[in-house]
Amino acid sequence: MDFGAWPPLRGDLASTRRCASAFFDNLPSDEGRAGTVRQNWVATWTKTGDAYYRLADLNINKLAFDEAKEAWLCALTAFEVARRLVADDDAGKAGVSAKVEAGVQRFGTALGYQVESVEITCFDGAELQAYYLPAASTGLSAPAVICVSSEEEKGATLLGRLLPVVIGRGMSVLVVSHADVLNHSRGRPAALLSHCFDYLSARPEVDISRIGVYGDALSATLATDFAVYDRRVAAAVCDGGILNWVRTSTSVGWITGIADGPAKDWISACRSRSARQLNCPILVVAGGRGVVSVSEAVKLQADCMAAYIHLDLAMPQIIRGGFGEEVENFVTADDCVFRWLKNKLTRARAP
């Protein structure tokens, strides 16, 4: 496949996301040409994002706002592809992330969408910075999701990735960064996220009975602790207590190497007990650069099934590119997560 000809500039979000997904699915593993090809891919997708921004501006000038919205979301998708390809130690990564953050700010201003920068009062009057996107107005209250970024990302970066996914799904999102949650929580991140829940509860367009949480990467652990702490959470994309369990089991030396008999039963019971504390539907995302390994997630799901606890498991497709790093197909992964959330939060509608 000739990646140098990608992607076509159509201004159609569905086509752009299919193109991005296919690009990741077909990454070659030729180590010999990885460096140059990788740089070319980054340049191609970055230029494509810039072109989509220009197309959006042209459509705005023509008052073709729907077409402008599509082009803007295409740009954010293209920039996210480029950001995934840039090496973590590459100075260019910050530049691509800055394009995403600038795009988030301009998106709301130019197209009339209410992407709001909000402050949530937490402990002792401290303010937590967050981004809020309300669901499209239908006159009815809609579900909402609190989204916590990975430990390496700003809230605006996560919002830029999620805007093409959540717009049109009939849900509001409140996005906060992992670092801000930890820095403002005074050792109580679950309690701070409860303040985020209270903020959403006060919004007239939000259905208080249908508020979920999504924790990206290491924030999956924060999502678990929050869902255990606050019984109002209606659905959680989290780690199901796996990280805390692994830490605990590792510290208990006598467990190591014991796989049979009463100890095995005790281990299984402890795993399922962590999930049982969650009072809502659970989705665990396993594999790749996330916090949950596939093996631990499969064990947890099996233990939960034995204990009649329903736990869904998602394993995003991970591609090992020729540059020796694992790359996640974020397009299919994010679609899977938010399809699941929409399904669970729709079912959670209060009678």
Asked whether residue 56 carries a pLDDT value surpassing 70, the answer given is yes
For residue 211 the two structure tokens come to 């508020």
Asked whether residue 63 carries a pLDDT value surpassing 70, the answer given is yes
The neighbour count for residue 72, using CB atoms within 10 Å, is 29
For 187-227, the pLDDT digits (tens) are 899 999 999 999 999 999 999 999 999 999 999 999 999 99
Asked whether residue 321 carries a pLDDT value surpassing 70, the answer given is no
- Quick one: pLDDT band at residue 262, thresholds 50, 70, 90? very low
Predicted confidence at residue 244, as pLDDT, reads: 76
Cα dihedral 183, 189, 195, 200 sign? positive
For 267-283, the pLDDT digits (tens) are 666 677 777 888 899 99
Q: Is 319 helix (H, G, I), strand (E, B) or coil?
A: strand
Predicted confidence at residue 251, as pLDDT, reads: 52
Predicted confidence at residue 260, as pLDDT, reads: 46
Please state which of the ranges 138-142, 218-222, 239-243 shows the lowest mean pLDDT: 138-142
For 157-188, the pLDDT digits (tens) are 999 999 999 998 999 999 999 999 999 888 89
58 Cβ contact partners less than 8 Å away, ≥ 6 residues apart: none
116-347 carries CATH number 1.25.40.10: no
Asked whether residue 350 carries a pLDDT value surpassing 90, the answer given is no
- The residue that leads in pLDDT, 286 or 34, is 286
What number of CA atoms fall less than 13 Å from residue 68's CA on the CB side? 20
- The residue that leads in pLDDT, 329 or 308, is 329
**Proportion of the chain above pLDDT 90, given as a percent:** 46
- Quick one: pLDDT band at residue 349, thresholds 50, 70, 90? low
Mean pLDDT within 42-50: 91
Cα distance between residue 148 and residue 155, in whole Å: 7
Q: What is the pTM of this model?
A: 0.89
- Quick one: pLDDT band at residue 306, thresholds 50, 70, 90? confident
**Proportion of the chain above pLDDT 70, given as a percent:** 82
* Domain parsing of the chain, residue ranges: 3-111, 116-347
Asked whether residue 48 carries a pLDDT value surpassing 50, the answer given is yes
Q: Are 192 and 121 in contact (CB under 8 A)?
A: no
Q: Chain-wide mean pLDDT for the chain?
A: 84
- Buried (b) or exposed (e) across 222-238, using 16+ Cβ within 10 A? bbbbbbbbbeebbbbbb
- Quick one: pLDDT band at residue 152, thresholds 50, 70, 90? confident
